[in-house]
């Protein structure tokens, strides 16, 4: 990107038309009608990765060769003002068009950014989104763009996808609404949403497949070194898991276990969330992992407890609450049965080996205060 904010590889400049349109005008011919037209609204401090992944799929699918000409796809960044929009990493991008008739686009894509910044979306953008909805133009929420659409009153009755990282933020802001945080993206009629990051590329590929063709979608992803287009129900990557499986249902269930760790779901409730019977869920877990869902859930919680012990200075009581154990005694008893030592003994051993440094400034204080607490609670655990 140069000082004028131009992104030449994807055809975005501050004030010029796309190259294909300019070439057609010079030759006195009309530019071919694109098969997919996308308008972008970028929130203040928008996530550059999510936007770039989405637009690069369009760019690579838009041309029959490899010259990035916007022939089959067309994309524009829209705003009420011709002022630079700053991304969360500090880079700025100039909008190309002002808000006009939303029917000029097949989709309006809202790219969100940092929580706390999305409230500052310009009122003209919210009005434009409402006009688009009234005109039947599908709306797409990328990353925290889903928050923006919800806040504008445009997601009632629709399923919405958000990143597992923002799952709790969504629950806090939108009381009574449960987002989908175990899929990479969601398509619900004329509302589409994705978790951001790499999932933006897969959602864009889904649209390219729908409007341009599967060959164009495959080509775009291949150039981006992405093996294949993922279906919407594929699970989001989450916290690192000790349990590995190729079964997508079991993966989604494991991620749900991570996201509800502080208040673990019963197997019946988990099966309901996965939209399968309890018996089917148990069979899939046994086939994929050789474990019951209860055993897998316990391992997920213990794995996260070890991560917190190693990387933070939180005491055992705090970690027990965060990982769904009844109290410190419960965690100590379960941890020792699994690993042969208490949580604090495990953390102390790692520290002595030089592998357990915490990245939390309070780590040292937490470690100093913890042994006394564990010694006081351990007799109850033995009983």
Q: pLDDT confidence of 184, banded at 50, 70, 90?
A: confident
Q: pLDDT confidence of 236, banded at 50, 70, 90?
A: low
Label residue 28 exposed, middle or buried (CB < 10 Å: 0-12, 13-18, 19+): exposed
Higher-pLDDT residue of 379 and 315 is: 315
**Could you tell me the CA-to-CA distances from 254 to 166, 243, 295, 301 in Å, in that order?**
17, 8, 11, 10
Helix (H) or strand (E) holding 21: helix 19-27
User: What average pLDDT does the segment 223-250 reach?
Assistant: 77
pLDDT tens per residue across span 210-232: 999 999 999 999 999 888 887 77
Q: pLDDT confidence of 18, banded at 50, 70, 90?
A: very low
Is the pLDDT reported for residue 338 higher than 70?
A: yes
Does some domain include residue 217? yes
Q: pLDDT confidence of 267, banded at 50, 70, 90?
A: very high
Final residue of a structural domain among 189, 223, 257: 223
Query: Is 189 found in the same domain as 64?
Result: yes
Is the pLDDT reported for residue 327 higher than 60?
A: yes
Query: Is 324 found in the same domain as 210?
Result: no
Q: pLDDT confidence of 75, banded at 50, 70, 90?
A: very high
pLDDT at 362: 36
344 — phi, psi (to 5°)? -70, -35
pLDDT at 64: 79
Query: Is 203 found in the same domain as 332?
Result: no
The residue ranges of DSSP E strands in the chain, in sequence order, are: 36-42, 73-79, 85-86, 92-93, 97-98, 107-111, 139-142, 185-188, 191-194
Query: Is 176 found in the same domain as 37?
Result: yes
Average pLDDT value over all residues in the chain: 82
Final residue of a structural domain among 223, 254, 289: 223
pTM above 0.85, yes or no: no
Residue 288 near residue 271 (C-beta atoms within 8 A): no
Count Cβ atoms below 10 Å from residue 284 Cβ, excluding itself: 20
Higher-pLDDT residue of 264 and 29 is: 264
Query: Is 351 found in the same domain as 213?
Result: no
Query: Is 322 found in the same domain as 190?
Result: no
Is the pLDDT reported for residue 115 higher than 90?
A: no
Q: pLDDT confidence of 374, banded at 50, 70, 90?
A: very low
Number of domains in the chain: 2
Assign residue 148 the CATH number of its domain: 3.40.50.880
What is the distance, to the nearest Å, from the Cα of residue 294 to the centroid of all Cα atoms in its chain?
27
pLDDT at 239: 57
**Could you tell me the CA-to-CA distances from 134 to 35, 100, 141, 145 in Å, in that order?**
22, 14, 17, 19
Going by their DSSP bridges, the two strands 97-98 and 92-93 should be labelled as: unpaired
User: What average pLDDT does the segment 63-72 reach?
Assistant: 84
Final residue of a structural domain among 159, 188, 223: 223
What is the distance, to the nearest Å, from the Cα of residue 103 to the centroid of all Cα atoms in its chain?
28
Higher-pLDDT residue of 244 and 83 is: 83
Query: Is 352 found in the same domain as 206?
Result: no
Supply the range of the domain harboring residue 329.
312-382
Is the pLDDT reported for residue 35 higher than 90?
A: yes
pLDDT tens per residue across span 43-63: 999 999 999 999 999 999 998
Does some domain include residue 266? no
Query: Is 316 found in the same domain as 205?
Result: no
User: What average pLDDT does the segment 92-112 reach?
Assistant: 96
């Amino acid at each position: 990107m140069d000082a004028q904010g131009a992104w030449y590889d994807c055809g975005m400049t501050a004030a010029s038309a796309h190259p294909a349109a300019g070439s057609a005008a010079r030759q006195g011919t009309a530019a071919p009608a694109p098969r997919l037209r996308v308008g972008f609204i970028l929130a203040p401090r928008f996530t550059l990765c999510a936007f770039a992944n989405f637009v690069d799929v369009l760019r690579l699918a838009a041309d029959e060769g490899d010259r990035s000409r916007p022939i089959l796809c067309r994309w524009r960044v829209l705003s009420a003002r011709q002022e630079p929009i700053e991304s969360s990493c500090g880079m700025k991008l100039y909008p190309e068009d002002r808000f006009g008739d939303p029917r000029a686009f097949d989709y309006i894509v809202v790219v969100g950014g940092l929580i706390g910044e999305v409230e500052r979306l310009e009122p003209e953008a919210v009005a434009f989104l409402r006009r688009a909805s009234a005109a039947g133009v599908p709306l797409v929420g990328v990353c925290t763009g889903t928050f923006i659409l919800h806040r504008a009153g445009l997601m009632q009755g629709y399923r919405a996808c958000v990143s597992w990282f923002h799952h709790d933020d969504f629950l806090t802001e939108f009381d009574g609404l449960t987002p989908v945080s175990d899929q990479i993206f969601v398509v619900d009629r004329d509302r589409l949403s994705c978790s951001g990051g790499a999932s933006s590329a897969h959602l864009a590929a889904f649209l390219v497949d729908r409007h341009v063709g599967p060959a164009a979608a495959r080509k775009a992803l291949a150039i981006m070194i992405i093996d294949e287009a993922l279906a919407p129900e594929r699970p989001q990557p989450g916290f690192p898991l000790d349990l590995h499986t190729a079964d997508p249902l079991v993966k989604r269930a494991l991620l749900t276990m991570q996201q509800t760790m502080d208040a673990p779901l019963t197997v019946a409730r988990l099966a309901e969330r996965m939209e399968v019977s309890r018996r089917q869920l148990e069979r899939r877990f046994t086939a994929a992992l050789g474990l019951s869902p209860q055993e897998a859930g316990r391992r997920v919680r213990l794995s996260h407890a070890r991560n917190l012990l190693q990387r933070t200075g939180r005491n055992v009581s705090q970690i027990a609450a965060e990982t769904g154990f009844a109290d410190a005694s419960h965690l100590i008893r379960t941890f020792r049965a699994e690993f042969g030592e208490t949580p604090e003994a495990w953390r102390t051993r790692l520290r002595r080996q030089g592998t357990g440094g915490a990245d939390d400034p309070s780590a040292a204080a937490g470690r100093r205060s913890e042994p006394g607490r564990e010694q006081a609670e351990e007799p109850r655990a033995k009983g």
